[in-house]
Amino acid sequence: MSSTDHPGEPETKGLSGSGRDGSGRNRPTRTGTGDGRGSDGGGSHVEWPDSPRFSYRPRTVICDRHDLIRAGLSAMISPFMEIVGEAKDGASLLELVRTLAPDVVILDIVFDDIGGVTLCSALRKESSNSSVLVWTDSYYATKYFYQLTRAGVNGFCLKGSGPQVLFDAIQELIAARSYSEPKIVHLIRQTPTVSTHDFGLTEQEVAVLVRLDLRNKEISEELELESSAVEHCIKGILSKLKVPTRTAAALKGVQYGFVLLPVMQGRDPVSGCTEEQKKAEEFAREAIRRHRELD
């Protein structure tokens, strides 16, 4: 990509052929919604949507390093998807995908043994027909969004957003379309609350501005820019905003209404958990409870 190009946006259109993946293989067709368990089932304070229904249960592999979250994810989707494998690290996930060739892979991208972008690239090589849904938190989704898109990820959603967003994402992937949760898109494609036209910032400079908390190498990798292009953008930003340092530029960006990426969330001083983590655990426990009641 040249230094004047804006970083590519993720593909949002379906693959060629209605109801088919890129290989022409038939995809399951949605036949209706609702499993009779409405949002008030069980008297829980957690809103719970009806499960989607498809003509068959897509074969699915899930991967998360946290046992509770993995069990909750399984409980959420097992009524309408066939869980053919579970993993808690990248190496195990790759082996499962290589062996099972699932229709769908749902994973977080935070592991000790392999980086998320590297893992997703390897998944695409192992099973080109599997739809890959990244189910993570806003920090990792906004730090690696473009890299993961280029690595072949089909969808993004946040663990803390709950089952409805997850179900929406799955329905889009099963229909051979890509999906990015609106919260993530809003952060990736930011517009200022105060006009930056007076300063003459280009779209590429804005993309760099909101990532000034990252090292230049990380910005280069995410936006697919040469290091010299990143440096040129930063010099332009400092000059146009009339500030001496990148820290001052980032602070001015916040004043204009930008959110710096990746999104940093505060942690509970007692538990050490972010609000997103707490919500994800709450949804996981509720899913497990509901699953047990159905059994």
Q: Could you read off the pLDDT of 117-158 as tens digits, one per residue?
A: 999 999 999 999 999 999 999 999 999 999 999 999 999 999
Contact 158, 138 (CB under 8 A): yes
Question: Could you state, in order of their start, the residue ranges of all structural domains in the chain?
Answer: 58-187+274-294, 191-255
- State how far the alpha carbon of 151 is from the alpha carbons of 13, 117, 121, 129, in Å: 17, 7, 5, 14
Strand partners, 105: 61, 132
* CATH class of the structural domain 191-255: mainly alpha
The region of weakest confidence among 32-41, 113-122, 167-176 is: 32-41
- For residue 191, the model assigns a pLDDT of 81
Res. 54: pLDDT tops 80 = yes
What tokens appear for 232 in the block? 């040129």
Q: How far apart are CA 166 and CA 174, in angstroms?
A: 12
CATH superfamily to which 58-187+274-294 belongs: Response regulator (3.40.50.2300)
Average pLDDT of the residues in 266-284: 94
Percent pLDDT > 70 in the chain is 83
- Are the C-beta atoms of residues 112 and 89 closer than 8 Å to each other? yes
- The string of pLDDT tens digits covering residues 246-267 is 999 999 999 988 999 999 988 9
Does the predicted model carry a pTM greater than 0.75? yes
